[in-house]
């Protein structure tokens, strides 16, 4: 089991606060495992087992607790009145009107409450309404490159590990499947299950999609165009030109479903000189490159945009607010803001060619502030600096704490 220390520490930072801790994320990214790891952390840090109440509401053993009042009464009967009680409710969406039980448990001063649920039922907007703003959301991603590499004992060649990370997927369970004799087939079947479940349960059912084939065509288009600036109209026109006539409204509806399910992420545009976010222009990135290879095949190329996708997800994981920048008709891949301070990132597969290096550095050189600027590539060269712009091997950067 990979020690997901970063996310465990996030949960620990909110321990015993008057907030409901909600773990969200794409299906099979490890939400239940994270709660298990956190329970172990509590037991190692002065919490007794009798203080922990853990219920997985997908387990048939708890089928009689799918009524919110029965769930509340069951937990209340187990609470220790003289101690803090740590209550874990996994897959809470299986309880009808779950907010009744959750809000009632929350107001008890000796309850520290943690919940997870299918992303289709745990959207931020709905949580704000159902839980009355009493929660903090911990957004979980599949394994980072650093976490993925940590699963292998001894020395592992980074380039090989990166290749497997892309092709085999960053979903945690694929590490176990990869060890089997028919691992590649097992992983492909597993990714197919995730993909179909997200489409059918989280999007088709929720958005009442009538034309599933049209939705799949849109997904293929987006997967094939990760990191490209596209508008809903461009998507509509491109799909219509290939014989899949679709309206802008339908595209917007499908896009919201993909983003709500956390299988895709939208990146907006930022005017660096004007210091303002722009309404036009968007890019889309996928939560896991392995899903892209599953759907489109491993011979599709575009390694540079795949690397950009990996960097995007890692910046999200590290807590940055992201946009892509425009300055003097040049593009900065990522404007990454944390605690009000921006950093700027360019990503390229290689920058050894002089012309490529000049092209990648130009937009960063045009930024006149003194905030950190980075060029990340897969070139296996020593780190260097160009007018304060740090060039770093992307895999080394991904392995940083």
Q: Distance between CA atoms of 63 and 76, rounded to whole angstroms?
A: 17
Q: What is the pLDDT of residue 327?
A: 83
Which is it for strands 111-116 and 20-24: parallel, antiparallel or unpaired?
Answer: parallel
Q: Across the strands, what pairs with 325?
A: 270, 332
Of the candidates 278, 280, 283, which has an alpha carbon nearest to the alpha carbon of residue 227? 283
- Tell me: pLDDT of 120 over 80: no
CA angle 101, 109, 18 (to 5 degrees): 85
CA distances to 160, 201, 351, 360, 362 from 355, in Å? 29, 48, 8, 9, 11
pLDDT of 232-273, one tens digit each? 999 999 999 988 899 999 999 999 999 999 999 999 987 666
Q: What is the pLDDT of residue 223?
A: 96
Q: What is the pLDDT of residue 244?
A: 84
**Contact in structure between 150 and 3 (CB atoms under 8 Å):** yes
Q: How confident is the model at residue 299 (pLDDT cuts 50, 70, 90)?
A: low
Q: What is the pLDDT of residue 99?
A: 92
What the block records as the tokens of 202 is: 């989280």
Task: Calculate Rg over the CA atoms of the chain.
Answer: 23
Q: Which of the pair, 327 or 123, is modelled with greater confidence? A: 327
DSSP 386: E
Mean pLDDT value across residues 58-87: 96
- Tell me: pLDDT of 84 over 70: yes
Q: Across the strands, what pairs with 230?
A: 282
């Amino acid at each position: 089991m990979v020690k997901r220390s970063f996310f465990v520490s996030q949960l620990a930072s909110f321990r015993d606060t008057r907030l409901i801790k909600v773990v969200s994320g794409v299906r099979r990214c490890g939400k239940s495992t994270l709660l298990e790891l956190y329970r172990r952390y509590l037991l190692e840090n002065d919490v007794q087992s009798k203080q922990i109440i853990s219920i997985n509401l997908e387990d048939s053993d708890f089928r009689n607790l799918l009524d919110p009042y029965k769930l509340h009464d069951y937990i209340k009967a187990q609470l220790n009145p003289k101690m803090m009680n740590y209550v874990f409710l996994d897959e809470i969406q299986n309880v009808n009107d779950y907010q009744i039980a959750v809000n009632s448990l929350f107001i008890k001063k000796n309850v520290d409450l943690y919940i997870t649920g299918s992303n289709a039922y745990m959207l931020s907007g709905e949580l704000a309404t159902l839980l009355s703003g009493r929660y903090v959301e911990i957004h979980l991603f599949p394994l980072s490159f650093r976490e993925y590499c940590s699963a292998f004992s001894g020395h592992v060649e980074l380039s090989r590990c990166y290749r497997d990370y892309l092709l085999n997927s960053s979903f945690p369970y694929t590490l176990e499947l990869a060890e089997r004799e028919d691992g590649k087939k097992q992983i492909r079947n597993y990714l197919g299950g995730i993909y179909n479940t997200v489409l059918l349960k989280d999007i088709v059912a929720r958005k009442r999609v009538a034309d599933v084939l049209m939705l799949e065509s849109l997904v293929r288009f987006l997967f094939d165009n990760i990191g490209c600036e596209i508008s809903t109209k461009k998507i509509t026109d491109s799909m219509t030109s290939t014989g899949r006539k679709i309206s802008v409204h339908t595209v917007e509806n499908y896009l919201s479903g993909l983003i709500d399910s956390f299988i895709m992420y939208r990146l907006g545009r930022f005017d660096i000189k004007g210091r303002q976010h722009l309404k036009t222009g968007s890019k889309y990135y996928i939560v896991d490159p392995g899903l892209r290879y599953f759907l489109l095949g491993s011979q599709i190329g575009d390694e540079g945009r795949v690397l950009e996708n990996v960097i995007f997800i890692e910046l999200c994981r590290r807590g940055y607010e992201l946009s892509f920048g425009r300055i003097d008709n040049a593009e900065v891949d990522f404007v990454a803001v944390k605690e009000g301070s921006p950093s700027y990132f360019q990503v390229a597969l290689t920058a050894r060619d002089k012309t490529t290096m000049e092209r990648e550095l130009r937009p960063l050189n045009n930024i006149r502030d003194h905030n950190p600027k980075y060029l990340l590539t897969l070139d296996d060269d020593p780190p260097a600096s160009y007018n304060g712009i740090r060039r770093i091997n992307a895999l080394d950067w991904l392995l940083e704490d």
